[in-house]
Every structure is written in C-alpha cells, then in structure tokens.
Structure 1
C-alpha cells in the first residue's frame, strides 16, 4: 500500500482546511466512505479536499458539519478556502483551474495568446497589463505569481500529457521586446522537450481553419468524462455536455491535421528564438 499523502497545514488555507477535515473525521472514527455516505458526492472528492487539492462545495460542507457535529465550521470557511485557492486567478477560471490540476490530458488551441502553462513572467505581465491597464502593481504581480504556479502540475509523479496547437503568428509577431520574446520562445521549447509534450504550429496563411473562433482547452480524466473550457477577454465557460464536447473535439482533430508537424514546429520556434536573440526577427518582419 502506498504511503498516505497528508496535507501540510502550513502550506496554505486549503491545506489547513483539508488537514482539519481529516483530523476531525478520524477523531470521529469515520472512513472517507462513511463520511461521504448520503452526500451524493464522490469519495475521491473528499480525499482530494483532505489533501488540499480541491475546494469544498457548499452542499458537502453542510453535510460534513452535520455528520461531524462541527457547529458550521466547514460551511463558514468553505468560501474563504475557495477564495484562497483562486487567489490571483479570475473567478470564472476557478473550476477550470481545479480540473487542470487533476487532468490526465490537456489539449489546447491558442490562436491569440500563448497558453498560461507555457508563459513566462514577462509575457504574463504584458498580457495582464494589456487587459487590465488600471490594475495596481500588486494586483498584476499576484496574477503573474498565480499563473506561474500552475506549471507545478508538471512536477507531479504522473503529470498531464500536454498537446498544444498555436497560431504561428504568436511566434512571428513580437509581443515583447526582442530579449524577453526570445526568452518566451526558448521557454516554450524547453517545457515541451522537458515534459515530452506535443506542440504544433498552425500556419496563418492557410486562411480560415476548422477552429477559427477563439481559444479552447480540452481536459481528460481517469475517473470522469472529458470537459472543454473556452474563454474570451473577461469570461470563461466549462462545457461538459457530451455531444457538444464531441463536436468541438472533431474541430480540434481537424485543426491538428492542418497544423505543422511537432518536429517542424519546434524547429520554427527555436529558430525564431535565435532570431529575436540576435536582433534578426525585426528585419524579417520588415
């Protein structure tokens, strides 16, 4: 039997909350199955909450308080825990963030921006500043730190399998000065190679493709159906309706078929990084 993974209460609010849940459950002499009984929630969700990995839904908090006779503790604190988990992230991204952290596979289409999992601090800072020009420096840096922390999923024992399709315009058009732009492209290539991920570039000159409208992120799981996350400037939506997810999936498969090969795509990215590093990219664009 593998060793039990306990949450370290000192790490943060979600881990403290989870550790307290486990302590009180065990003090009451209940197994996870016994505590979950009657809640209409999966045992796996309770286990993930105890490890500080998931947020406690309000209905489950009410159930736990009643079963453990905790005088409303978990109900009162569940929103605070949810807020702590999404610190630095948009509220509409909270559910997608949790799913990203437990996904077996992540597949993204990025026509306008480099996906968060592949961004550098300088790039994230520029994106946040462009979208929220009135944000304070502290707010911007909180969002930068939150986005950088998402890459920790690649350090897990079983990291998700990442497949990304980028518009090649993201490589050719400078979103940053030459030095930081070179760092961004070098970082993308480094992450792809280190994680054995797959990245493809979709040539922009090919005209309208099969997935012309907006970004999309598919996430697959060992114990749940796949979901799709789509996002616009100030909103996002999770889609789990199977026929609609399937329809998007078919468009994504056509997109991959139209894209360059992974090897050729990495070569373009690394060449562009070198050009930005040596000041040659600007001359090419001219």
Structure 2
C-alpha cells in the first residue's frame, strides 16, 4: 500500500507486478527504482522481460491488451489491427516494410493474426472502434482483398456482441483525432492507459490528465461518427463497390 502511494498507484496494482500478473512499463519501473533506491535494477529487468513477437515499442501494449476489459480505438486511415484479415494485414505491412525480407513480413503478419484472437472467447474485452471512411476507400491490396476485408468487418460487428464499430464519414469534417491513431484501455483493477501511434513508433502513457484528454477527444470523434447501424450500411456499400470493380483491378 505504501509503495503504491509513493508511486502514485494502488496497492493492488503493485500486487499484480509482485505476482507476475502484469509487467510494469519502463516509465513506472524507473519511478519504482527511484522510490526504492535500486539504481536501474527494475528498469533492466523490465527491458529483459520485453521480448515479444511484436515491435519493441508495441510490446507493453500487446501485453496490456490481454488484461483490458475495454479497448476503444480510433483508426484514421486503416482498419484496426485486431480486425484485419491476413491478406489486408500482409499488404499493409509489406507497404511499410518495402526492403525487409519476406520472412520478416511473414513473422509480423503472423503476430498480428495471433493478436486478433483476443476478441474471441468468453472473456474477450469489449472492443469499440471508430474508423474514418478513408479506411474503407483507400485500397490496400487487390479489390478482392478489400472486399474480403470489409465483408469481414461487417461480419464481426454483426456476429460479436463485444465488438462495436462506427465510421466517421467524409462529410463529418475535422474532429480532434483526425490525424491520430490511438487505443484507450480500461481495466477492472488498474488505471486506464492510452497508446498513440505513428508509422514506426508509438507512445504508451497512464498519465491521468493526458488519458482524460484523449478520452474526451475520442468521445468527440465517436459523436461525429455514424451510428453502428448506419456504419454497417456504409461498410456494406463500400464492400459491394470493391466486388463490382474486382475484375478491373
């Protein structure tokens, strides 16, 4: 309890680290080192424990996803990773890794597909995604692969009660997260965190004021979006467009 107070978090949160349920982020490891006077010992242990199939900057996020009860995500230009088909993921990853060997691309795709299993099962988190219409209109891969991806989006949103999907249409204009990709994760017994990402890096923080600011911005983006029902109709329409134009791709 005392350590939690000195590190500005709850005693139960500290207990999760002690019992290896959760791994402290590097930022918190530094704070605990300062509080305990342990030099950089906990920071070194944190780095050693960060071995992961995903990019180093995403390792903590992938672990926290497993603990989250609710994940809300905003995707300004592409389908969220947890909802991607393999063909779409491969085309997207290849576009950002033009000079990497095929084996590396295959490993990244495999890791993303493994992550997508998070939304299955009895204890799956609630996943609420707000996607800009850009993600529906910019072709990633062939038209057939885009049709498959958008059809899968609609299928998941209809079949899984824990998945809610909304689309911000072009007509909505600007909103606070127009150029920002983010995920907000909420937990049953720990403070929420926010993760923001650009092309080759990302930042994870639990700083309360910043989390609250991003939550407010996300709420504004969600308010600008179509209803879930209208969003599905737009996704269906876009999928049909790709099916119609498939032979021309």
Which residue does 1:82 correspond to in 2? 50
Q: 1:174 to 1:194 in 2, by over 3 A?
A: same
Which residue does 1:149 correspond to in 2? 114
- 2:10 matches 1:44: no
Which residue does 2:151 correspond to in 1? 186
Which residue does 1:275 correspond to in 2? 241
Q: 1:280 to 1:136 in 2, by over 3 A?
A: closer
Which residue does 1:253 correspond to in 2? 219
- 2:180 matches 1:217: no
Per-residue CA deviation, residues 41-75 of structure 1 (Å, 9 max, x unaligned), is: 744345555xxxx558898xxxxxxxxxxxxxxxx
Q: CA contact under 8 A between 1:122 and 1:180: conserved in structure 2?
A: yes
Q: 1:229 to 1:79 in 2, by over 3 A?
A: closer
Q: 1:170 aligns with which of 128, 131, 135?
A: 135
Q: Secondary structure at the match of 2:78?
A: coil
Distance 2:71 2:247 in 1: 31
CA apart distance, 1:229: 0.2
Q: CA contact under 8 A between 1:154 and 1:160: conserved in structure 2?
A: yes
Q: 1:178 to 1:241 in 2, by over 3 A?
A: same
Number of residue pairs the alignment of both structures matches: 223
Which residue does 1:98 correspond to in 2? 63
Q: 1:131 to 1:57 in 2, by over 3 A?
A: closer
Per-residue CA deviation, residues 54-107 of structure 1 (Å, 9 max, x unaligned), is: 558898xxxxxxxxxxxxxxxx99866632xx11x1100001111111100010
Gaps of 5+ in 2: 1-11, 30-43
Gaps of 5+ in 1: 1-39, 60-75
**Larger C-alpha radius of gyration, 1 or 2?**
1
Q: 1:229 to 1:167 in 2, by over 3 A?
A: same
Q: TM-score, normalised by structure 1?
A: 0.70
- 2:128 matches 1:160: no
Cα RMSD after superposing both structures: 2.8
